[in-house]
């Protein structure tokens, strides 16, 4: 049985969904140190885009009872362009989602989110207190890295270009040396193969002279039968002379040995 998808699991999936954006979990709509009641969104995200800005707010629900008794979600609408409920699969039905909100379900495996109902896009201004809260309570101000800081941007760009060029030179040099080594090895191997091919061609030529086809299997060559045919083709008188010479060889060898010993 699969483990149930928890609120932390859903928050993690939202963080992955907005990995390139400004993502604020447990985001408030104002300061906590006042008598004015504030509201807390489970997650708030702002797309990093000047041309197409978009802010989304999320309310996580892992039980139906929590969803059914929620009477504050509509206050979050003023803090975003799109508002979504987020739940495990089947906890909230798409037709139950109130007007003005959307619905995200986690997959059965709990590894990704998918949209079950698209939230309407709100174009009215976002509540200013949300931005002030994020800046004062959740941000650390650092050096400007935006393209508007032209000098720093281009200095950074040129430095990266220089480093990229140096890295490219090192990589290309290493590849060139590797290719030279591989080419040398291939040439040496080709020379060995050429010598072997010449040897095989010579053997094939000699086999054809003997009436053997190198393409035939060895069991079709019938070496013994061919030897018998060659022997039978030798004239009888030549075979008798060879036999007599063979018989005389031991006597002739003994005579030569004795003659050599006497000469020494």
pLDDT in tens, 201-233: 888 887 777 777 777 777 666 777 777 776 777
Q: Does the pLDDT at position 129 exceed 80?
A: yes
- In percent, the amount of the chain with pLDDT more than 70 equals 88
Encoded tokens for 126: 């976002």
DSSP secondary structure of 48-102: S-SSS--EEEEEE-SSHHHHHT---GGGGGGG-SEEEEEESTTTS-GGGSPTT-E
Q: What is the pLDDT of residue 10?
A: 97
Does the model's pTM come out above 0.95? Answer: no
Q: What is the pLDDT of residue 257?
A: 79
The pairing of strands 113-117 and 55-60 is unpaired
pLDDT digits 0-9 by tens, 148-207: 566 666 666 677 777 777 777 777 777 877 888 888 888 888 888 888 888 888 888 877
Other Cβ atoms within 10 Å of 167 Cβ, number: 10
Q: What is the pLDDT of residue 264?
A: 46
Lowest mean pLDDT among 58-67, 124-133, 215-224: 215-224
Q: What is the pLDDT of residue 175?
A: 82
Q: What is the pLDDT of residue 231?
A: 72
Tell which residue, 88, 71, 93, 83, has the closest CA to residue 27: 83
Distance CA 163, CA 159 (A): 6
- pLDDT band of residue 33 (cuts 50, 70, 90) is low
pLDDT digits 0-9 by tens, 92-118: 999 999 999 999 999 988 899 999 999
Q: Does the pLDDT at position 263 exceed 60?
A: no
**H-helix or E-strand spanning residue 181:** helix 150-209
Contact 106, 84 (CB under 8 A): no
């Amino acid at each position: 049985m699969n483990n149930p998808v928890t609120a932390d699991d859903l928050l993690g999936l939202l963080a992955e969904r907005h990995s390139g954006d400004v993502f604020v979990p447990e985001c408030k709509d104002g300061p906590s140190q006042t008598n004015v009641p504030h509201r807390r969104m489970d997650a708030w995200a702002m797309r990093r885009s000047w041309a197409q800005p978009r802010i989304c707010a999320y309310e996580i629900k892992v039980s139906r009872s929590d969803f059914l008794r929620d009477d504050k979600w509509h206050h979050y609408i003023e803090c975003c362009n799109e508002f979504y409920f987020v739940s495990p699969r089947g906890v909230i039905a798409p037709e139950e989602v109130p007007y003005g909100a959307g619905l995200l379900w986690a997959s059965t495996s709990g590894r990704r989110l998918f949209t079950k109902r698209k939230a309407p896009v709100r174009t009215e201004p976002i509540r200013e207190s949300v931005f002030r809260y994020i800046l004062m309570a959740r941000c650390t101000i650092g050096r400007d890295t935006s393209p508007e800081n032209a000098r720093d941007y281009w200095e950074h760009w040129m430095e990266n270009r220089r480093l990229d060029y140096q890295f490219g030179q090192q990589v290309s040099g290493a590849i060139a040396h590797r290719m030279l080594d591989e080419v040398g090895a291939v040439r040496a191997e080709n020379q060995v193969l050429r010598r072997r091919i010449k040897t095989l061609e010579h053997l094939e030529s000699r086999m054809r002279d003997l009436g053997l086809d190198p393409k035939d299997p060895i069991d079709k060559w019938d070496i013994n039968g061919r030897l018998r045919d060659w022997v039978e083709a030798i004239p009888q008188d030549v075979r008798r002379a060879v036999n007599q010479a063979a018989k005389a060889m031991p006597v002739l060898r003994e005579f030569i040995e004795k003659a050599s010993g006497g000469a020494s």
